[in-house]
Amino acid sequence: MLAAGQALAHDDTVKTYPVGQRDPGPHDPIREGENPDIVNPPATDSGTLPNLRYSFSDSHIRKGSGGWTRQVTQRELGISTTIAGVDMRLNAGGIRELHWHKEAEWAYMLYGNARVTAFDTKGGWFVDDIGPGDIWYFPSGIPHSIQGLGPDGCEFLLAFDSGGFDEDSTFLLSDWFKHVPPEILAKNFQVPVATFANLPSPANEYIFAGNVPGSLSSDSIKGSMKSDIAFTHHMLGQDPIKAPGGTVRITDSSNFPVSKTISAALVEVLPGGMRELHWHPNNDEWQYYLEGEGRMGVFASSGQARTFDYRAGDVGYVPFAMGHYIENTGNSPLRFLELFKSDYYADISLNQWLANTPPELVKQHLQLDDNFMKALNLQKNPLVK
């Protein structure tokens, strides 16, 4: 208990404050310690930019008998207009019920194992078992399901090609059945009306507990046609682009043909490394941080720039064409996903652009010497150290 007249003490030794400055009023040292470049921004920061960071840890969790889900959409991160993200956990046997969306769905497996199913427009059936580092893509309107396998289910990141997406707007199988007159269901399926007397509540079916399925072959349906579309892809199976500061794996419609509206890169930055100064000429960038700690500096033109700090579970965003870098500020690898609402991945390297520009032109712009020009690289190094 505080004695009468006694003030609550504040820690004035928080290292993130500039020398000679402090916050004597109410503040949150824990949050400030997680965001040192907001509390004490680099001198190069200038002007006003919207927030470009949001943590899934600040998102509401919706629970079901088979797992849980939480989302970061434009409602949580206002600048995120092109892509919305969902973090979903399914227990062993847990089922994300049969459903479809107006938006296309892209996913990255974070943990465990899952079985996914889909049904294409030609009447083809698809089923596959996937694990960490695998991705899937279901075009808009394609019905699908996801189920956690043993021993401990799974967790995965979902990305939808609209920032205004809402998990609650999904077209659910159970929801549709509950909103069709029983006699219409009976006529459609050629069964007695009594068949539909005990339909489950959609509120209980969204993510519900189920039995762990058997082998893939046990889920085969006699007489069904196999889809000729590969809805899944092994991203970690790709040979990475290797650079001095880490590795990059790129997945877009060139090596995952079904993925027509979302392209992605999996980036690993080694300690002391940096995703080089660059920008993307095709769309906004939506990021998900998988592990480690880093900071991103964003240049928005017109003298505006701002720096943000990120850690595992955070979402980052870079509006179209804004220059930026991402630096590993921790002691372990920094891993994150870059996602774009586009069928192809593209970036422009500042270093490579200047190296391919007439030297005298560059020198007159920046008043730099020949040593700088010689240091430029004609080849792109997406990660430097």
* Bridge partner residues of 71 (DSSP): 86
Per annotation, catalytic residue among 97, 285, 338, 360 = 338
The DSSP secondary structure of 272-312, one letter per residue, reads T-EEEEEE-SSS-EEEEEEESEEEEEEEEETTEEEEEEEET
The reply to whether 338 belongs to the active site is: yes
Instruction: Measure the CA angle with vertex 333, ends 309 and 291; round to 5°.
Output: 60
The answer to whether 33 touches 59, Cβ cutoff 8 Å, is no
Q: Of the candidates 30, 16, 111, which has an alpha carbon nearest to the alpha carbon of residue 313? A: 111
* Secondary structure element (H or E) that encloses residue 362, with its range: helix 359-366
Determine the Cα–Cα distance for residues 171 and 167; give it in Å rounded to an integer. 10
* Secondary structure element (H or E) that encloses residue 39, with its range: helix 36-39
CB atoms within 10 A of CB 278: 18
Determine the Cα–Cα distance for residues 52 and 306; give it in Å rounded to an integer. 9
What token pair was written down for 80? Answer: 């995120």
* Secondary structure element (H or E) that encloses residue 177, with its range: helix 173-178
Omega before 151 within 30 of 0, i.e. cis: yes
Query: Position 6: which residue type?
Result: Q
Task: Please name the residue that has the structure tokens 């002007």.
Answer: 47
User: How far, rounded to the nearest angstrom, does the alpha carbon of residue 310 sit from its chain's CA centroid?
Assistant: 13
Q: Give the length of the chain.
A: 385
Q: Of the candidates 54, 13, 12, 48, which has an alpha carbon nearest to the alpha carbon of residue 311? A: 54
Residues classed as catalytic: 338
